[in-house]
Amino acid sequence: MKLKRIAVIFTIVMAALMLWINLQVTKQENNTLDMVFYNREVKQIEQALLTGETREEIAQKYGCEILIRTDANYASRLNQYLENESIILDYEKNDEIVGKFIWQEKSSKFDALREQLQRQMLGVCVIILLAVYVMLFLIYKYYVKPFQTLQEFTAEIAKGNLELALPIQKHNFFGAFTESFDLMRQELRRARESEYQANVSKKELIAELSHDIKTPIATIKATCEVMQVVETKQDTLDKIGVIASKAEMIDNLIGNMFHATLEELEVLKVDVREESSLLIPQMFQDFRYYGQIVLENEIPECLLLYDKLRLQQVLDNILNNSYKYAGTVVKVRFREEKEGITIEIRDFGAGVSEEEMALIREKFYRGSNTDGKSGSGLGLYLANNFMEQMGGGMECYNEKGFVVALFLAKA
C-alpha cells in the first residue's frame, strides 16, 4: 500500500512539473531564446551583405526585410512594422545604425524551436516517470511481494493448513529465507502425520486386544455355565459363581474400552491375502465352546482372499450372537459359486423382525430382544465392515431361524 501511495504522489508531482515547464517555455517565447536566434540571423545577414548579396536574395533566404534609413517612407514603414508586432533588430555598420532587419511573421521559427524544446522536456519527464515506475515494480516484485506471500503463508500455518506449499521464485533475493519456512512446514507436517499414525496405531492395538480378549472371556463364561450344571458341591458352585461374576465384569470392562476406542477409529486394518479355503472349517471347530456347530457339507478346496484374523473375528461375532440370542444348534453350509464361496450360518431361534433387519448392521444398534444380555451393538457392524474390506460381503435374513450369509471372493 505504501508503494502505491508513493507512485500516486510521484505521478502528481511529475504532472505538475511538466505543466510548469510548459508554462515557463511559453512565458519566455519573446525573451532569451528568440534573441539568441535572431542575433545569430543578424550576423549571418550582415556577413551576406558584405559578400555582395542583394537585399532581395537575403529576403528570400532568411525570410526578412532590410529597411535602410535612406529608403523612402522609412519612418512610416517602420511604424507600420511596429504596429504589426514584427520582430525588428538594428542594422549596424561601422558602429552606426544604418537600418533595420525586420521579420514580419511573428516568431514562427522561434515557435517551432519552442515546441521542439517542449517535446524534449516532456519526453525527458516521461522517461523519468517510466524509470521510477519500473523501479517501484522491481522493488515490489523482489522485496515487497515475497514478504506479503510469507505473511499469507504464516497465517495459513497458524490455521493448521500444513499442505500449502510456499512458492519460491527463481532469482528471489530471499530464496534461502523463504525456503527455510517451507522446510519448517514440511517438518511440522511430518511430525503431525507421525503423531497421528502413532495415535491410530495405539487405538487400533487397544481395539484389537479388547476384541481378542473377549474370546477367552467367553470361553471362561461358557465353561462356568457348564460346570454350574454338572457340579453338585455347593462350595465348588460358589467358587464357580465368583469366577463367572468376575469374567462377566472383565467382559463388561473390555466392552467399554473397545466401545470408547472404536468411537475414534473409522476402521481396523485388514490384511487380505490368498489363503486356502480348508482353513475355514477348522475355525468353526475352534468355536465349539459356544455350543453345537454342525458343518453340513465339506467346503470346496480353492484359494480365497481373506484375512484369517478378521475372518475369525467375523465368525466369533456371528456365533456369539447365536449363542446369546437363539441358544440353538448352529448349522453351517458351504456353497461354491463362480466368483467365490458363500458360507451360510443358520440358527433356529426367533430371528429378527423385518423392521430391525435393516438396522442390525449399524454401529451400536441393539435389537429389541437384547434386554438383560450384555453386548455393545458392534458385532454385526464389525463383521460387515471386515467382510467388505476383504472384498466380500455379508447378508442377513430370516429363514426357519436367523441366517447370516458370508461371501469370500476367489483369488
For residue 294, what are the β-bridge partners? 331
Nearest to 360 by CA among 307, 408, 317, 407: 317
The three-point CA angle 242-243-249 to 5° equals 90
348: cell is: 433356529
**Per-residue model confidence (pLDDT) at position 31:** 46
Nearest to 68 by CA among 49, 47, 44: 49
- All structural domains of the chain: 2-126 (no CATH), 172-266 (1.10.287), 275-409 (3.30.565.10)
Rounded to an integer, what distance in angstroms lies between the CA atom of residue 33 and that of residue 10?
A: 31
**Per-residue model confidence (pLDDT) at position 151:** 74
Mean pLDDT by 10 residues, the chain (411 residues): 59 66 53 66 84 83 83 83 79 83 64 70 79 79 73 73 66 64 76 75 68 75 82 83 79 67 60 91 81 88 90 86 84 91 90 81 70 66 87 90 92 83
The structure's pTM equals: 0.43
Convert the chain into a string of H (helix), E (strand) and C (coil): CHHHHHHHHHHHHHHHHHHHHHHHHHHCCCCHHHHHHHHHHHHHHHHHHHCCCCHHHHHHHHCCEEEECCCCCHHHHHHHHHHCCCEEEEEEECCEEEEEEEECCCCHHHHHHHHHHHHHHHHHHHHHHHHHHHHHHHHHHHHHHHHHHHHHHHHHHHHCCCCCCCCCCCCCCCHHHHHHHHHHHHHHHHHHHHHHHHHHHHHHHHHHHHHHHHHHHHHHHHHHHHHHHHCCCHHHHHHHHHHHHHHHHHHHHHHHHHHHHHHCCCCCCCCCEEEECCHHHHHHHHCHHHCCEEECCCCCCCEEEECHHHHHHHHHHHHHHHHHHHCCCEEEEEEECCCEEEEEEECCCCCCCHHHHCCCCCCCCCCCCCCCCCCCCCHHHHHHHHHHHCCCEEEEEECCCEEEEEEEEEC
